[in-house]
Amino acid sequence: MNATEPNSPERLFTADEVAQRLGVSERWVRDHATRRSPRLPVVKLGSLLRFCPADVDAFVSRQRDDHSGTSRRN
């Protein structure tokens, strides 16, 4: 089964792929994923870090600032 078939699991991103997508360094991604209170959800596979595309998109949405003066929801 591959990732394009219906009901197949989404392919997880590497830290480097997330970094490229967000325009930041891989170190930044790892830092935000491994904090005591991580801001970027991560899937740990042993020593490997992998990221769900939907989690990355949700992280980006939470960072949007509409300049309304109201606080963002978490």
The predicted-structure confidence for 18-57, as pLDDT tens digits, reads as follows 999 999 999 999 999 998 988 899 999 999 999 999 999 9
How is 17-57 classified by DSSP, letter by letter? HHHHHHTS-HHHHHHHHHSSS-SS--EEETTEEEE-HHHHH
Q: What is the pLDDT of residue 3?
A: 52
> Rounded to two decimals, what is the model's pTM?
0.73
Cα separation of 51 and 22, whole Å? 13
DSSP 13: E
pLDDT for position 10: 80
